[in-house]
Structures are given as structure tokens and as C-alpha cells.
Amino acid sequence: MARRRPERTAASEHRQAAGTPAPDDALMDRAAASIVEDAGAWTPQDVLALQPAVGNAALARALQRQPAPQGTTGSDYLDARNARDRFQAGGVRGPMKHTRGGFQVAYVPIGDSGALNVTLKGGVDFEDGIELIDVFGFKVAVDNQGTPGTQGEVARINGLPLGQREAAVAGWRWGEPEKRTFLQSFETAIEGAWNRRYQFHCSRAHWTDLGVDVNVFVEVHEGARVGDEHMQVTSYKVPPGGPAGHVGVVRRTGSGPDDVQMRLNSEDAAPRTDVLLKTSIAFPAGDDALDAAGKRSAQQFGGWWAGGGAPICPLCSKEVTELAASPINLHVQGTGTDPETQARTRFANVVADLRTAGMTDADARCVFHYDGEGDDVRLLVGNGEPQTVAAHEAGHMFGFDDEYVKPNAAKGAPVDPGLAQAQGLPGAVRERSDSIMSMGNAVKPQHYATFLAGLKLVTGMDDWAFGPAEGVVPPGVDEPVPRPGRKDPMEEKTAIA
């Protein structure tokens, strides 16, 4: 028999709009049964279209006469879908403060999907790195940072003739255009690193098509933080390339989620230049192996980036090898009649050099990339993207500890045991890697742990999991229900104050 698609009737639309009573159950049961018997094989669109046409109860009774996978009844399915719709219709949840770190979260329903808006707010005090003060009629340079670099620069400036000191201090003073640039760069650096790296989805039965994008917003202004803003930033002006020393730090000034202070240099909203995640080495023309100087460079690189072991799975107690130290990408060139074959030979030789330097897992970590004709090799940790200090320090605001190796912590030691595992994510270990909480700018899955915890907190339910949305299969059908196109959650920022 030809398929007859169930349609939403004018009468049903009128009942919903006017609130008039529905026909008696027996009539709706006969209508639903007639459509079900006539429809043949079900499609997800049929299920969705029938619901407003004949009513939830009648459709549930009709569906219960259809095959239901895994013991699910039509009533179970419709109850769950109705509950999901009520949840979405409930509007924005939050904003609410997350006490691990210092930020706020809000859930924003957007049609058939949603967004978790993570917002970091605060004020910025702009301090001159070095200033001149008047001491008995003499201009004397004073250090406001207290780092070895600035202390040495103050001594140098004070050794200059009095007439030259003003010009020497000029690069250590804030100007209004530079302040505006810093505020914008600070917001851009953090949002660019942390925004929309991964997705979440609801794990409740028949809700798994409810996906959540993670939007990260940063809002800072000059001056002291006000109201319930989360942090106070102090930024010291340094000239580009100046001997300032590193001051990036986040520390608590009290017990509350808003009692947080961040200290930065004016250059810390730009990528670092002092920790290189990539290096280039040249082979002797036509040779398969590096010369002595090249081997020293490769081995220095290998010794620096030697891994500390993989995180341990909390379920099986084995190493999660795919989340071990960052991959080392080798982009190798070749020459001669078959340059790619030579490039592969060169790759094997460089891997051996890295292994000699202590990178015992070099065979597993190194990835070959043919880079065309020539005699160079480029070694990149991950994607080679340098860290931005402001984005790293924001990670502390989001509740994460440093992952690089510290003097009092062994390489390979676990970081924040249990934090990520509580959200079904692997933990981190201390090692030099391209992780944003180590030496690079890569946000890893474990770095969304507090965001996932925040989603559970602000929605008041624990049924959320890491990963994109999954299809929902209604009873009596064998394919997921397609969902309408998703609106860009970034457009919903105005939904929360």
C-alpha cells in the first residue's frame, strides 16, 4: 500500500492555539492505529509528525504495538522526548559561578541544541615596569616588578647621565593606545586558545542528540574589578624584547572564587619567543645523515622534549598511549632521483638521533612528513604553535595546575589526580609537551573537565558526557532521528547578562 505521511491537522493546530479540549481517547486511538497500520515501515519523520497530529497518549499506545528495540516502549520514548523539550523550553540556566578556578557558566538552549557559555571577567591595573622618581632633585629609576631582568635594567639606567634617563625609561611606560591593544589582545588570546575545542552531549536515554558547544568569553576593562567579576590582572609594561623576566602567575588572595590575582607582562598576550616547539636543521648536501653539528641540534631537541610517560586509565590501569607526550612531527626533504625515498631514510636517521638523546619513545612519537626537495628537516612538537602566557594563566582560572616539570615534581608524575577522571576524561602528567598547561598552546580533552563539571552544576543534572551529540533511534525504526540545522551558539552571547 502506498505510504501516507502523517500530517499535522488544522484541528490539532487550533486545539493547541486555543486550548480547546482534545477529542476523546477512543477517537484518537482509532486515528493513530489507522495511520500506524497503513504506514508500513516507520521513519523518524513519521514519529515526529504523528505526535502533534494525534496526541502523545494515543501515539504512545499505537507505538507500543510496534517493535521496540532494547525493551524501550513508545511511551518511554515520548516521555523522554517531552521531558527533553521541556528542558529546552526552560530557558537560560545561570549564570552561576564555578568555584574551581574562577569563572561563571550559563547554559543557553538554542533550538534542538545548546551552548555552555564560559565567561571570565575582571579589571586590569596597568603598571609601568620601570618609573623615574625625583630624589632630591635627581631622576632615579625604580623597579616595579622585582625580577632579575628589571633589576639589572634599573642599574643600567641609573648609570646613565641624568639627561638620558628619561628616554631610557620611555619603553617601560604605558600609553593609552598600548593599554587598549593589551585589553583586546588579552581577550583574543584566551578566547582563541580555549573556545570551542570540544563538545559535550546529554547522555540521558533519548536525549543524546542534545549537543552542547562550549563558548569562552573574556571581558576585561581598565581599573579595579567590580561587582562579581572574577579576577584582578596587573600588567607591567616592558619594551618589546626587553630584559624583563617572566612574571606570569595566578594566585589566590582569599578563599572565594573571585579572590584571584593574575600578574603579567605587557608582552604576555602575544606568543612566547623563549620556548621553541620547533627547530630546523640542514643535512649536508645530498647526505642521508646529519653532520656533527646537526646531530647536536637534534639531540638537544630530543633531550628537551623527551616524554614523561602516558596518563593512566582509571578503569583499566593501563597507559593511554595516544595521550602520551606530544607527537614529534618531522618534515623532511630529500634530493636525487627519488627524493621522497631519501627523505624517509633521513627521517629514520633523525629518529635514531632523538632516541640517543633520551627520547626512548621516539619510534612511536615521530611522524614522517615529506616536505619536498631540498636538504632540510623541520622538527615540530605537535603543531609547533608557541604558547601565549595569558592563555596559559587563564587555564589556572579555569581550575588547572601546571603540567610542565617542576623542581619538586618528577617527570611523569600525575597532575591533579582525579580531576579529569571524575568527568570520564584521562588525566595529565608532568612533562614538556605542547599542552597549554605545559609548554605549548594545545588545549587537550582533560582541559575541558571543569567546563563539563560546570555544565552539570548549572543545569542541575549529571547526564552530560564528553563528545559530540549522538543520534536518537525511536522505537519501531532503525535509524536516528535527523535534527534540524543548528544555529550558531556564538550568536547567543546576549542571552546572558
Domain boundaries, the chain: 10-66, 94-123+178-272+387-495, 130-172, 278-381
Q: Which of 64, 106, 113 shows the shortest CA–CA distance to 84?
A: 113
User: Is the confidence at residue 134, as pLDDT, over 70?
Assistant: yes
Alpha carbons 280 and 166: distance in angstroms, whole number: 41
Neighbours of 200 (CB within 10 A): 24
Tell me what pLDDT residue 84 has. Answer: 94
Pick the CATH number of 278-381 from 3.30.1330.60, 3.40.605.10, 2.60.120.260, 1.10.3720.10: 3.30.1330.60
Tell me what pLDDT residue 15 has. Answer: 34
pLDDT single digits (tens) 446-495: 999 999 999 999 999 999 999 999 888 777 666 665 554 444 444 444 44
Comparing 179 with 320, the larger pLDDT belongs to 179
Gyration radius of the chain's alpha carbons: 30
The label of the residue with cell 623563549 reads 274
What pLDDT band is residue 49 in, cutting at 50, 70 and 90? low
310 close to 429: Cβ distance less than 8 angstroms: yes
Phi and psi angles of residue 379, each rounded to the nearest 5 degrees, phi first:
-110, 120
Alpha carbons 321 and 250: distance in angstroms, whole number: 31
User: Is the confidence at residue 279, as pLDDT, over 90?
Assistant: yes
Q: What is the DSSP string of 221-258?
A: EESS--TT--EEEEEEE--TT-S-----EEEESSSSTT
Tell me what pLDDT residue 131 has. Answer: 94
User: Is the confidence at residue 56, as pLDDT, over 60?
Assistant: no
